[in-house]
């Protein structure tokens, strides 16, 4: 009798163990399948989009300070519908030089005008009333640059300089999207204390004079648009 009970107990234990050994295997497969599914969801998830860089009053100076360190170029060619001229930018006016090269490489000046021509004084460019130019400004950012007038540069004939913003601006902060070139002979030195010379015309001054000789209206706006077709950094 005891042997029968022992036999039945032994058989029950064997069947129980077999049943137990099968169950975990089935559950393990289910768990593994779930883990793989979760991992695949993580892999296929869309990456977080990086915000587009925009210049502001808070980051512009630091950006141009560091950007200038990367520059090896200082020569810019401006091509207009009346001809082309070439500029050499000064190395010791870092913010204004870096700003001008940055905007040139961004293609900002392409399609802008020489919108102000004052006879025997200056030609001023970099503005336009087109939506495309307004869009470019919005994408690049809104900022001003501090004047840098103590580097020994004067507003000689052929000097390129940066006008100040027309807004409430007692410190003569520069409007970075525009520039002017002096045509006065020998120069317009009354500008030295307020504006920042950051380069000079080294070729094509005859084209600058030709632009200055165009007919203008009472507000110094040329009667015929003078386009900047292309601005390019050449070396």
Q: Which residue has the higher pLDDT, 50 or 69?
A: 69
Domain identity same for 33 and 97? no
Domain identity same for 97 and 127? yes
Alpha carbon distance 81, 230 (integer Å) = 10
- How many domains does the structure of the chain reveal? 2
Domain identity same for 1 and 88? no
Q: What's the burial of 162, exposed, middle or buried (CB within 10 Å: 0-12/13-18/19+)?
A: buried
Q: What is the pLDDT of residues 51-106, one digit of tens each?
A: 899 999 999 999 999 999 999 999 999 999 999 999 999 999 999 999 999 999 99
Domain identity same for 20 and 119? no
**Which range of residues forms the domain containing residue 156?**
60-233
Q: What is the 3-state secondary structure (H, E, C) of 157-187?
A: CCEEEECECCCCCCCCCECCCCEEEECCCCE
Percent of the chain clearing pLDDT 90 (strictly above)? 72
CB distance 125 to 178 below 8 Å: yes
Rounded mean pLDDT, 150-157 = 96
pTM flag (> 0.85) = no
């Amino acid at each position: 009798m005891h042997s029968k009970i022992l036999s039945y107990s032994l058989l029950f234990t064997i069947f129980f163990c077999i049943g137990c050994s099968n169950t975990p295997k089935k559950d393990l497969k289910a768990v593994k399948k779930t883990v793989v599914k979760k991992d695949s969801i993580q892999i296929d998830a869309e990456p977080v989009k990086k915000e587009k860089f925009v210049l502001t009053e808070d980051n512009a100076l630091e950006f141009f300070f560091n950007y200038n360190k990367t520059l090896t170029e200082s020569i810019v060619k401006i091509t207009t519908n009346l001809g082309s001229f070439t500029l050499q930018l000064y190395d010791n006016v870092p913010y204004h030089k870096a700003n001008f090269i940055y905007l040139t490489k961004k293609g900002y000046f392409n399609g802008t005008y020489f919108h102000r021509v004052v006879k025997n004084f200056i030609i001023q460019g970099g503005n336009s009333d087109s939506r495309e130019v307004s869009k470019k400004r919005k994408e690049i950012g809104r900022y001003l640059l501090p004047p840098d007038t103590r580097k020994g540069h004067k507003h000689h004939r052929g000097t390129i300089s940066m006008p100040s913003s027309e807004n409430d601006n007692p410190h003569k902060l520069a409007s970075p999207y525009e520039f002017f070139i002096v045509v006065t002979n020998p120069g317009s030195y009354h500008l030295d204390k307020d504006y920042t010379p950051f380069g000079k015309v080294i070729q094509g001054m005859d084209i600058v004079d030709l632009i200055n000789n165009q007919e203008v209206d009472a507000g110094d706006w040329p009667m015929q648009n003078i386009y900047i077709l292309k601005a390019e950094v050449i070396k």
